[in-house]
Structure 1
Amino acid sequence: MTDRSQTFARVAALIEPFNKKGVALTDATTFAGDLEWDSLVVMDFVASVEDEFEILITMNMQAEIETVGQLVDAVDRLTEEGVAL
């Protein structure tokens, strides 16, 4: 089991190459609004998260995740549940 702050740090590191505006990341940072990501960036980013954590994020889950904090919680939940590739 991993600490949430460790998961946040790993997710933040994955966001970095896509964070063209240099937005400071918090749990409340939104992907569409704050980071201004389009669907192609989202798909590339989701693939990198899935690879990093060896999980599968469904399309339904993606539609519900709007903030960095929600993603961190989802990654932790999927990792704990063992929903691996």
Structure 2
Amino acid sequence: MSDREQTFQTVKAQIEPFNKKGVNIVETTTFQGDLEWDSLTVMDFVAAIEDEFDIVITMNMQAEIETVGQLVDAVDRLRA
């Protein structure tokens, strides 16, 4: 399993407690459109991701991240 695939699987596992609609999580899944998360859910999820990977995701980065794949790429960049 590649590092990116491992990051994707970890992110996917972090999404599950917040996935109230039971959406199938793939690279192109959007947080706003597909998962229909409100701002509070996003903040809780970002905190979980930051804790899991020991990183900080800035507000500017959060504004640019719309899909699961974009988040995986951002996590990998921040961990490098």
TM (norm. structure 2) is: 0.97
Which runs of structure 1 show a deviation greater than 2 angstroms over 4 or more consecutive aligned residues?
Answer: none
**RMSD across aligned positions (CA):** 0.8
Mapped to 2, the partners of 1:22 and 1:7 lie a distance apart of 20
- Give, as a single letter, the amino acid of the residue that structure 2 aligns with 1:25: I
Q: What is the number of equivalent residue pairs in this alignment?
A: 79
Percentage identity across paired residues of the two chains: 76
The CA deviation at 1:63 is 0.2
Which consecutive unaligned segments of at least 5 residues does structure 1 have? 81-85
- Give, as a single letter, the amino acid of the residue that structure 1 aligns with 2:52: E
Mapped to 1, the partners of 2:65 and 2:49 lie a distance apart of 13
Which consecutive unaligned segments of at least 5 residues does structure 2 have? none
The CA deviation at 1:9 is 0.4
Mapped to 1, the partners of 2:53 and 2:47 lie a distance apart of 10
Mapped to 1, the partners of 2:41 and 2:17 lie a distance apart of 10
Partner of 2:13: 13
TM (norm. structure 1) is: 0.91
Partner of 2:44: 44
